[in-house]
Amino acid sequence: MITLLNYTLAFAAILMLVALGGCVSEHSGVINLGLEGIMVIGALGGALVMKLMPTVGGFGLFFLVLLAAVFFGMIYSTLLAFACINLKADQTIVGTALNMLGTALATVFVKSMNLKESAGNNTSSVIKYENKKAFFTNIGNFELNWFMIVALVMLIVVFVLLYKTKFGLRLRACGEHPQAAASVGISVFKMRWAGVLLSGLLGGLGGITYITTGVSEWKFEEGVFGFGFLSLAVMIFGAWDPIRIGGAAILFGFFRAIGRVYPGIAFLRNLNIPPAVYNMLPYIVCLIVLAFTSKKSRAPKAEGIPYDKGMR
């Protein structure tokens, strides 16, 4: 049971971080479909730090890894911001391209790095389980991953940012009614850039969380198993509200965790259901949930529409 809780919270942390990223971006008016790619690149940043600085241990390493993931995620998200905000490119195509590009770029990079180190090492994984131990604290049987705390902190930060600050008020105005925002002197372009960059930050954090908690060994070729898109579903189910997103993430994380730990639960094991069904579970739940919640959507009204100054 404690493993179920452990995995639920681990997956929830990933989904929460990335969904918050999607949420901030959409509140500014840009649909970020490239979160999968951002996660991969963010994870790459963090993984490189772990690989290149094995001597830095403990909290210092944790901090550096965080910083690298955030930095990589943000840099990568500028590709989306530039294309969709400045050039008014189709947000769906660009997002899709970023997802493919993220995986391809990371794979090419990591593989060649591994090849350089030792000829014939044609794998696309960087870190081993031992590296990750640095980020765990055991509380009894419960493995507390530090990133769970990061996710919780970010949840509060995003909530405060969106609803308690001047920045958040302006950001949300740009996603709801950019013409109204512009009419009181707010630069819609700048706010949307900020929204996308923040989603890059959170997506990068989600990525590094994914590779340190979600999987035992990770190959860059595999991407993040649709976690970016699951996060978007979490965001929709969470009605673009940080607190509700937190709840939705735990629900989806639970279904994902069942797929991971069911062999350890006698009742589920005895049902004799093929493992693939458990793997499908979060996606099926997601579809059903969306079917019932999409009709009356609370999506920011202007999301996905490039802002044009001439339009009034």
Partner 1 sequence: MEKPYAIEMLNITKRFPGIIANDNITLQLRKGEIHALLGENGAGKSTLMSVLFGLYQPEEGVIKKDGQVVKINDPNDANRLGIGMVHQHFKLVECFSVLDNIILGVEPNKAGFLQKDEARKKVVSLSEKYGLQVDPDAIIEDISVGMQQRTEILKMLYRENEILIFDEPTAVLTPQEIEELMQIMKGLAKEGKSILFISHKLNEIMEVADRCSVLRKGKYIGTVDIANTTKEELSRMMVGRDVEFVVPKDPANPKDVVLDVQGMTVASKLHHNNAVKNVSFKVRRGEIVCIAGIDGNGQTELVYGISGLEPLKGGKIELLGHDITKAPIRKRLLQGMGHIPEDRHKHGLVLDYSLENNMVLQRYFEPEFTTKAGFLRKDNIRKYAEGLIEKFDVRSGQGPITPARAMSGGNQQKAIVAREIDRRPELLIAVQPTRGLDVGAIEFIHKQIVNHRDSGHAVLLVSLELEEVMSLSDRILVMYEGEIVGELDPKKTTVEELGLYMAGAKRTEVKA
Partner 2 sequence: MNKKRSLLERDGVLTIITSVLCVILGLLVGFLAVLIINPQGAFGAITGVVENFFAYSSSRLRIYNFGSTLAKTAPLIMCSLSVLFAYKVGLFNIGAAGQYALGAGAAIYSAYCLQLPWYVCLLLGILVGGISGALGGILKAFCNVNVVISGIMLNWISLYGVNVLLKPAMDPSGKDTFRLLKKAKDSVLPNIGLDKLFENNKYVGLAIPLAIVMAVIIWIILDKTKLGYELKATGNNPNAAKYCGMKENRNIIMTMFVAGALASMGGAMFYLTDVEQWNVNASAVPGMGFNGIAAAFLGGLNPIGCIFSSYFITHITVGGLNVDLKIYSAQVSDFITAVIIYFCGFVLFFKSVIIGNVKRRTERKVKALAEAEAKKGGTKA
| Site residues for partner 2 per CB under 8 A | 33, 79, 83, 87-90, 92-94, 96-101, 103-105, 107-109, 111-112, 115-116, 119-120, 122, 124, 221-223, 225-226, 229, 232-233, 236, 274, 276-277, 279-280, 283-284, 286-287, 290-292, 294-295, 297
**How many CB atoms within 10 Å of residue 145?**
20
Q: Residue-wise over 50-81: b if at least 16 C-beta within 10 A, else e?
A: bbeeeebeeeebbebbbebbbbbbbbbbebbb
Alpha carbons 206 and 70: distance in angstroms, whole number: 9
23 binding partner 1? (CB under 8 A): no
Alpha carbons 297 and 237: distance in angstroms, whole number: 9
Of partner 2, partner 1, none, which one does residue 276 interact with (CB within 5 to 8 Å by kind)? Answer: partner 2
CB of 185 to partner 1, least distance (A): 5
Q: Token pair of 29, please? A: 């008016």
Looking at residue 125, the DSSP 8-state letter turns out to be B
Say which amino acid occupies 117: E
CB of 156 to partner 1, least distance (A): 14
Structural contact between residues 36 and 224, judged by C-beta atoms closer than 8 angstroms: yes
Q: Token pair of 10, please? A: 């681990």
Rank residues 13 and 236 by Cβ distance to partner 2 and give the closer one: 236
Of partner 2, partner 1, none, which one does residue 257 interact with (CB within 5 to 8 Å by kind)? Answer: none
Alpha carbons 85 and 188: distance in angstroms, whole number: 9
CB of 234 to partner 2, least distance (A): 11
* Options 108, 115, 156, 180; binder of partner 1; rule CB under 8 A: 180
155 binding partner 1? (CB under 8 A): no
CA–CA–CA angle 245, 168, 9 (5° rounding) = 25
256 binding partner 1? (CB under 8 A): no
Binding residues for partner 1, rule: CB under 8 A, are 164-167, 169-170, 172-173, 176-177, 179-186, 298, 301
